[in-house]
Structure 1
Amino acid sequence: MAKRAAQVSDDEGDSGSDVSLIDVSFDFLSPNPDVDYQAIKRLLGQLLGRDSEGFNLHELTELILSQPNIGSTIKTDGEESDPYALLTVLNMHIHHEHPSIKALARYCLSKASDSPALHSTLQSLFSQSEKHVGLVICERLINMPVQVIPPLYNMLKDEVRNAVAQNLPYQFSHLLFISRTYHLSLDEESQLENTLPASEARKKKGASKKRKSAAHDEANAQHVRPDDGIYSFHPEDAAIIELASHTLNYTYTAPLPETHQEGRDKNAFGLDTRGRIMLLPLTDSPAMDTGEGKDTWDVLAEKLAREYGVPQ
């Protein structure tokens, strides 16, 4: 079912004086069990990285598609085409016996063993039934702009509220996010910069000349390499982390493929992909100042729109 359409402009051109805009129309749709199975399964495999084989992706995909009124996909070629992005939420308590949810809960507890506070919190949440945890699944193709994220979260917020109003089991005390990261050593970061194509370098230079926001310029000027060398595939993680009570970056359990390891030994550039867990309480968030009439869903949606939304 179609929900809405949006346009996002992307800049093209090699200099600040030679810029063209490409308008791309995105359709926001409900997940379609008749069309979306294979594409959603691929997105889940991408999200969960090298460890994805342990999560019963077939069952997880079927579970996502069984929620007709929760979650959205993004397409560009009509309802019968493959989705390029997915955002949804699953109740980990209602589905605690589901093989994929059971595997994901065990996995999160295993990774959280490096963070006693997070491990204790998750163990407490998973071992009781009064408070429900919502597992947020958000993934998209790598060339999808971050500007599609704010409307996705706005729609999910409204869908969850409508479901709660109908006494459906979407009243959560916490949201658990699983995301993707990558690690760069100092040598790899230098190598990446040195191998950047000249056209990309000119494009970046041109883009920097046409920044419209002084705040954006200041943010770019203040950008420094993270101390741990870990970068986000999803820029919106930064907004979620600010509201989260716990954040954990972790390495995958499955080893790197031998060819990848050999390439890194030979100084050939290759991404060291990793994972991230973020736990967001829907009450008492440490960075929360909701104000009258606002809850955590509102604050998160407004924060994403403010930082990543399409300028009006």
Structure 2
Amino acid sequence: MSAPLKKARAVFPIEEYESDEENIKDDFIGQTINVDFDAFKAEDGDYHGIKRLLTQSFRGLEVNVSPIVDIIISQNYVGSVVKQVNEDDEDDDDEDDMDVEEEIFGISTAINLTSRKDEDAVAELRSALVDECQKFGSDETNTFVRESLGNESKHVGLLISERLINLPPQFSMPVFESLIKEIASANKKGMAYDFTYFCMICKISKLKGKKGSKSKVEEIIWSNPEEEIFAEESIASFEYSVKGDSGLSGDWEDGDAEYLPWRRVIVFEANKLPSILCKVRQAIS
């Protein structure tokens, strides 16, 4: 478990999330706005929204995100994108609106890193993960990751669960539960989704160390809080820092806590996903 925060104020890194909104008006600050969301199959028009979210996940890895987005859209029978539901859309039959890009608030899917190992995009991603593990993981973790990715009889799935910043963990539960059903359905049809392990790339922020500090307690903030529970069930993990993020959010003073962006890659047994989600549900209820 990460240590509880001892200070009310903290400075968090802005990871240069690309947004279509150039300016945010002050009119709605402090107000509660009810918004309905729903999950949909990924379509070609979702390309840029998915790419923006994946760019966050893969920041720090030398990978080309675009072909990975293509894979997600091509296998849209597994996974979903989350969009805002507008009542006006249900009554609008104007075909000209079919080409309007809708904002993607979340993406959930699983990509087979084993069966797709010969595809350029997946091969690049596999190599990037192995390289980071070799640099920052323990010898035991490095051996496990290499052997797992090299064992074609035990498939490894990259579990992707990404959403816009500040959306609560409750947001993830319906898409996770739907993903489990879709994976089971794909397996019944003989598709390559019978995973032995799941791999996740989790966004975390670590408290910047101060000179002279002897504290051994590492304070961590999870961008998606439910992923801390996933990490508790992991059988292997390693971390790498995210370089190039120099912007910091908010106003701060000398002495405020400052957090730096990292990624933690975790691996857990695929058959534990339902029980992990039960723990998440209990934690957020």
The two structures have a TM-score, normalised by structure 1, of: 0.68
Partner of 2:7: none
Partner of 2:58: 48
For the residue of structure 2 that corresponds to 1:24, the secondary structure is coil
After superposition, residues 233-312 of structure 1 pair within 5 angstroms as: 233-252=223-242, 255-256=243-244, 271-282=259-270, 295-308=271-284, 311=285
**Residue in structure 2 matching 1:94, options 112, 115, 128:** 115
- Structure 1: how far apart are the matches of 2:132 and 2:66? 23
Deviating beyond 6 angstroms after TM superposition, the runs of 4 or more aligned structure 1 residues are 266-270
Partner of 1:133: 156
Tell me the percent identity.
Answer: 22
Cα distance change, pair 55–186 in 1 and its aligned pair in 2 (3 A): closer
Partner of 2:13: none
Partner of 2:185: 162
Give how far 1:13 is off. 10
- Structure 2: how far apart are the matches of 1:226 and 1:142? 29
Partner of 2:92: none
- Structure 2: how far apart are the matches of 1:141 and 1:249? 22
After superposition, residues 96-245 of structure 1 pair within 5 angstroms as: 96-113=117-134, 114-185=137-208, 227-245=217-235
Cα distance change, pair 270–59 in 1 and its aligned pair in 2 (3 A): farther
1:83 aligns with 2:104: yes
- Structure 2: how far apart are the matches of 1:164 and 1:98? 21
- Structure 1: how far apart are the matches of 2:151 and 2:245? 39
**Residue in structure 2 matching 1:57, options 49, 61, 65:** 65
Cα distance change, pair 168–256 in 1 and its aligned pair in 2 (3 A): same
Structure 2 letter corresponding to 1:108: L
1:31 aligns with 2:42: yes
Higher fraction of helix: 1
Give how far 1:39 is off. 0.7
In 2, are the aligned partners of 1:84 and 1:140 still within 8 Å (CA)?
yes
Give how far 1:41 is off. 0.6
Give how far 1:40 is off. 0.6
More relative contact order, 1 or 2 (CA 8 Å, 6+ apart): 2
Q: Could you give the per-residue CA deviations for residues 244-286 of structure 1, whole angstroms, max 9, x where no partner exists?
A: 111222213xx436778xxx9x98986521111010013xxxx
Cα distance change, pair 184–163 in 1 and its aligned pair in 2 (3 A): same
Give how far 1:74 is off. 0.9
- Structure 1: how far apart are the matches of 2:180 and 2:234? 17
Partner of 1:6: none
The CA RMSD over aligned residues, in Å, is 3.0
- Structure 1: how far apart are the matches of 2:195 and 2:247? 43
* Unmatched runs of 5 consecutive residues or more in structure 2: 1-27, 90-100
In 1, are the aligned partners of 2:47 and 2:69 still within 8 Å (CA)?
yes
User: What count of residue pairs does the alignment treat as equivalent?
Assistant: 236
**Residue in structure 2 matching 1:66, options 62, 69, 74:** 74
